Amino acid sequence: MRLNYFMHKYIIKLNTARNCLKYIVKAYNIKSIYIPYYICNTVKSALRKENVNINFYHIDKDFMPVYDFNKNDFILYPNYFGICSKNVEVLEKKYKNLIVDNAHSFYSKPKGLASFNSLRKFFQPNYGIKNGAYLYSDKILDNEFETDENYQLCEYSFENIVKNENMLDNENIKFISETTEIFIKNIDFEQEKQRRISNFYKYDKLYAKQNEIKINLTKEDIPFVYPLLTKNENIGYNLEKQGLMIFRYWEGIPKNFKEYEFYKYLVPIPIY
């Protein structure tokens, strides 16, 4: 099935999260949208490919937008690291055209005008899933999209992740591959959820006092990583020596922006 109904919204199963965003743009005929400066470049690229006018907004140390949007504005808000469900709830009550990017929060319930997540980001390391995303929306396009079958198993490594990212960036909107659908059946979602929570608190016990981000998880928060904001550069270096892949989120932030501190000092510790 490429289309299901859940929680008062359709689940549209596509090949990538960035293509979920393109789908939303087409479905709601979005010409202009607000996105944060602190966001993945693939989001900007996806919007530019759809000829959408991009307006940027800043966020504060709690990842909350520092901007008063107009009531009819389309707003993309990322659920940063899967720990920002409280921010999503606040924004959803204020803005009717909120779009929630849950690429870092697979387990979050549908919120806002539309939302989407990423199977690949959450389950690639343990299950080899290379594509797949769920879009929650009330708007369904009539387009007949292809089914994605560009699928090769590969080792989970930095080089393969980069290669796969570059390949996905050029993919058109397609329905989720049948191979991914088969792999999904092997996922123990509850076990994965509990493992992430357990690993998150393991790192929180070690680093909470050093972490400049004060994190209080709600029941909605199933984290993607443990986001450690620290000026102690030895921590990230030592974790990499232990074999953990530490990515920096995200390039392209001007140094005079407050958000640059996230790029420079935030150590996203994998918890899969």
For the entire predicted model, the pTM comes to 0.92
Q: What pLDDT was estimated at residue 5?
A: 45
Has residue 137 got a pLDDT over 60? Answer: yes
CATH of the structural domain 3-184, one choice from 3.40.50.300, 3.40.640.10, 3.40.30.10, 3.40.50.11030? 3.40.640.10
Q: Which helix (H) or strand (E) holds 160?
A: helix 158-169
Say which residues have a Cβ less than 8 Å from residue 131's Cβ, sequence separation at least 6: 15, 16, 119, 120, 148, 150, 151, 168, 171, 176, 177, 180
Domain ranges, ordered by start, for the chain: 3-184, 189-270
Has residue 156 got a pLDDT over 50? Answer: yes
- Placement of tokens 């000026």 in the chain: 231
Has residue 158 got a pLDDT over 70? Answer: no
Neighbours of 230 (CB within 10 A): 16
More confident residue, 146 or 31: 31
Has residue 3 got a pLDDT over 60? Answer: no
How does residue 45 score in pLDDT terms, banded at 50, 70 and 90? very high
